[in-house]
């Protein structure tokens, strides 16, 4: 779980989209912080991706939620073997 998205990738997404982004683990009805990147600001937290055990929150003024979500999904997919 801790390596679901690397710190490097979180930092890259934070820079690219100008947001604060953080990865959480779902525990019952709550989310537990795992890792994050980007400067914290006083803005709403938006859950842009969730699965049975993982959630990705983003905080930003105006941002491309669909673009971030697509990249997050791609990063969370298990790697496929290349022959």
Partner 1 sequence: MHMVNDKLSASAWINNVIKPEEYEKYLDNGKDFIDDDKIWQQINDSVEPSPERVREILAKSFNVQTLDPTELATLMKVRDPEIWQEMYEMAAKVKHKIYDNRIITFAPIYCGNFCVNNCLYCGFRADNDKEKRTKLSLAQVRDEAEAIAGRIGHKRVIAVYGEHPETDADFIAESIKTIYSVSVKTRKGHSEIRRVNINAAPFSVADLRKLQEVGIGTYQVFQETYHHDTYKKLHPADTIKGNYPWRLYVHHRAYEAGIDDVAIGCLFGLYDWRFEVMGLLYHAIELETRFGVGPHTISFPRINPASGSPLPTDPTYNKYLVSDEDFKKLVTLIRLAVPYTGMIITARERQEVRDDVMFCGCTQTDASTNIGIGGYAKNTGKQDIDEQQFMLGDTRSLEELIRDLAKRGVITSFCTAGYRCGRTGDQIMDLLKKGHEKHFCKLNAILTYREWLDDFASEETKKLGEAVIRKEIEEVRKKTPTIFSKKLYDLTMSYYERISNGERDLYI
Smaller CB distance to partner 1: residue 6 or 32? 32
How far is Cα 8 from Cα 12, in angstroms, rounded to an integer?
Answer: 6
Phi, psi of 34 (to 5 degrees): -115, -55
Strands 30-37 and 46-50: unpaired
Closest distance of CB 50 from partner 1, Å:
11
Question: Residues in the site for partner 1, rule: CB under 8 A?
Answer: 22, 24, 27-34, 36, 40-45, 47, 55, 57, 61
Smaller CB distance to partner 1: residue 55 or 76? 55
């Amino acid at each position: 779980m801790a390596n679901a998205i690397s710190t490097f990738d979180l930092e890259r997404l934070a820079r690219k989209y100008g947001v604060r982004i953080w990865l959480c683990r779902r525990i019952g009805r709550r989310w537990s912080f795992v890792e994050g990147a980007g400067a914290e600001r006083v803005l709403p937290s938006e859950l842009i991706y969730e699965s049975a055990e993982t959630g990705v929150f983003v905080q930003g003024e105006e941002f491309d939620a669909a673009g971030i979500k697509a990249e997050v999904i791609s990063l969370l997919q298990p790697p496929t073997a290349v022959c």
